[in-house]
Amino acid sequence: MTTTRSTTAFLALATALALVPLGSAAAETGVAAPAAPAAQPVPEAAAADPGAGPGTGTVTATDRFVVKFREGTVPEDSRDVVYAQAADRSGDAGLVETTATADGAQVVRTDGMLAGAELDALITALEQDPAVEYAEPDLLATTTAVPNDPSYATLQWSLWDDPAGLGMPLAWDRATGAGQTIAIVDTGITSHPDLDANVLPGYDFVSTAQNGRDGDGWDPDPTDMGDHPDAVLCPSSPMPPESTWHGTHTAGIAAAAANNGLGVAGVAPDAKILPVRAVGACSQGYITDVAAGVRWAAGAPVAGAVTNPNPATVINLSLGVPGECPAVLQSAINEALTRGIPVVVAAGNQGVDAAQSAPANCAGVISVAATDVAGALAPYSNFGSVTLAAPGGDPYAQILSTGNDGAQALGAPTYTERNGTSMAAPAVSGTVALLREVSPGLGAAGLQDALTSTARQAPGGCAPGCGAGIVDPVSALVAVQGGEPFTTRGSIGALHRKTSATTGEARSRELCALGGTPCFQEFANGWILWNDGLGARWQQILPAQWWEPSTTP
């Protein structure tokens, strides 16, 4: 879809809701390299630390350690003295030997899980004893769930674990959305091999037969019949003549199947998709139809429609209309929230404050701005009065997802690239599904808090405001599972311990560019960057070219 559109309603759709134009009209064939972001002020201070490399970017904690004593230096009955002294110096309650390793080292257990500064302090205390050859944490290894979907490694940059992406491989180690249902209130859905296994029976709430192009009104068939312009309904429409298959695209971003050897992976690949059709010809649909779709998706009774047997656990609205939030739509959203179901909405593509667009300005929603491949606010995205942001792409590096090759009427399944806040919203909806899988008791407010309290700043910049920042599924999952999402380690952690009075507490997990360098971590008062060969340094302002090795203070 285009990124601008007339807001004037046409003919019979004079009071219709216009779908937020958040996707590009034409699919790109690849991802182009982004232009360098505009220069930012030179950082005021830096501290060099050319020591060992950074941490892994994951949250690391353990209650076991490996200690190797130098041969012949400490009799077995004296080891307890070494452990007691190390525990006393590090502040730990005590260490007890358990088993021996294959090379003769001892596995030692502490009273509780240690991470970050506490873990480093204990290791340092053990290594300071001359009788100890080495000491190291007995870390908890995990798999890294990289899917075998062909386009994941080459085109789905928005899912990668880098500063512009969502870090999905680390998130998938914790959750995949199993047992959750994502309602996609949109243009409907088309059959697709990357979606079909996850699609539940949905509903069509396009109330006029002409606008619906299916010859009837409300019915249990949510098939997208094409949203291309109509010569009668919207004779002056500025949208391209092709159908967008918008609902199919957003559904794939949220929950396309993974590890099936096909196409793409969704953020929550094991979640179910509940397609709710509320937008038809000309990418338009009545607000009353959208509101009915939201109520039905939430499991509330809707007069004239059969009861939904599969209520959603999160509802996605990648659509919008200028002006105040309509009362009928707010009422439907309130119904969903009362049932504990969060409603995730696109912020809009007009490049204005999201307070000027509904449903982004409706009370209680999770409104999502879009960021680009540089981790900056996308130029088309609404901003300011938003909850947070997620990757939505730009014309040079779009979001690849499921689609259909029909120019106007239904064709064959395919994959298409689009950019817009319509693409950012389902990434957050998928993240909500992950959180609900591991913490099903979290209500709408708790889920929103988990998302916002763990979001991170946009490394490419978001001066107009991206709410809490870019959603970080990994950190949010750690937080709802009772862990500490922002631990520090490696050279970044070492520098933080030396300068914590200046840097303040960590505000993000450690993030690394593809290839493992550079890395950075956000703190209350700035950033610590690490480059291979240069080590860690403190920056009060993240430099525009943070990915380039530099000694500029």
Least confident of 74-78, 257-261, 388-392: 74-78
Q: Phi and psi for 30 in degrees, rounded to 5?
A: -165, -175
What pLDDT does residue 329 have? 96
What pLDDT does residue 28 have? 26
> pLDDT tens across 228-269, in order?
998 888 888 888 899 999 999 999 999 999 999 999 999 999
Query: How would you classify the pairing of strands 366-371 and 357-358?
Result: unpaired
Contact present, 31 and 8 (Cβ < 8 Å): no
Cα 210 vs. chain centroid, distance in angstroms? 37
Split at pLDDT 50, 70, 90, the class of 134 is confident
Is pLDDT above 80 for 136? Answer: yes
Interacting residues of 29 by C-beta distance below 8 A, sequence separation 6+:
none
Contact present, 1 and 398 (Cβ < 8 Å): no
- CA dist., res. 422 & res. 391, Å (int): 10
Nearest to 125 by CA among 82, 73, 77: 82
What pLDDT does residue 60 have? 60
Split at pLDDT 50, 70, 90, the class of 30 is very low
Mean per-residue pLDDT, 147-159: 95
Assign 3-class secondary structure to 409-464. Answer: CCCCEEEEEECCHHHHHHHHHHHHHHHHHHCCCCCHHHHHHHHHHCCECCCCECCC
What pLDDT does residue 548 have? 56
What pLDDT does residue 24 have? 32
What pLDDT does residue 119 have? 81
Is pLDDT above 90 for 443? Answer: yes
Q: Which entry of 49, 90, 192, 246 is annotated as an active-site residue?
A: 246
What pLDDT does residue 247 have? 97
- Confirm whether 246 is a catalytic residue: yes
Cα 300 vs. chain centroid, distance in angstroms? 28
What pLDDT does residue 549 have? 52
Mean per-residue pLDDT, 53-62: 49
- CA dist., res. 82 & res. 85, Å (int): 5
Mean per-residue pLDDT, 447-459: 96
Q: Which entry of 90, 207, 401, 422 is annotated as an active-site residue?
A: 422
Percent of the chain past pLDDT 90, that is, above it, reads: 60
Give the architecture (CATH level 2) of 61-137: 2-Layer Sandwich (3.30)
In the numeric block, the tokens 């947070």 are attached to 388
Mean per-residue pLDDT, 35-56: 31
What pLDDT does residue 140 have? 62
- CA dist., res. 139 & res. 115, Å (int): 10
Mean per-residue pLDDT, 279-305: 95
Report which residue type is found at 88: D
Q: Which residue intervals of the chain bear CATH 3.40.50.200?
A: 150-478
Contact present, 360 and 467 (Cβ < 8 Å): no
What pLDDT does residue 547 have? 59
- CATH code for the structural domain at 150-478: 3.40.50.200
Q: Which entry of 186, 227, 230, 353 is annotated as an active-site residue?
A: 186
> pLDDT tens across 88-108, in order?
777 766 778 777 777 778 888
Query: How would you classify the pairing of strands 203-204 and 95-100?
Result: unpaired
What pLDDT does residue 405 have? 96
How many C-beta neighbours within 10 Å does residue 427 have? 29
What pLDDT does residue 20 have? 38
Is pLDDT above 70 for 27? Answer: no
Split at pLDDT 50, 70, 90, the class of 7 is very low
Least confident of 6-10, 138-142, 340-344, 470-474: 6-10
DSSP string, 169-204: HHHHTT---TT-EEEEEES-B---TTTGGGBPP-EE
Mean per-residue pLDDT, 69-94: 77
Is pLDDT above 90 for 376? Answer: yes
> pLDDT tens across 418-427, in order?
999 999 999 9
Question: Residue 260: exposed, middle, or buried by beta-carbon count in 10 A (0-12, 13-18, 19+)?
Answer: middle
Interacting residues of 177 by C-beta distance below 8 A, sequence separation 6+:
255, 267, 268, 269, 270, 271, 430, 433, 434, 437
Q: Which residue intervals of the chain bear CATH 3.30.70.80?
A: 61-137
Split at pLDDT 50, 70, 90, the class of 14 is very low
57 vs 190, residue with greater confidence: 190
Mean per-residue pLDDT, 5-24: 30
Cα 144 vs. chain centroid, distance in angstroms? 17
What pLDDT does residue 3 have? 38
Is pLDDT above 80 for 47? Answer: no
In the numeric block, the tokens 């409603």 are attached to 343
534 vs 269, residue with greater confidence: 269
- Confirm whether 186 is a catalytic residue: yes
What pLDDT does residue 43 have? 23
Query: What's the mean per-residue pLDDT of the chain?
Result: 84
Mean per-residue pLDDT, 513-523: 86
- Confirm whether 192 is a catalytic residue: no
Contact present, 336 and 343 (Cβ < 8 Å): yes
∠ CA(348), CA(325), CA(281), 5° rounding? 60
Three-state secondary structure call for residue 121: helix
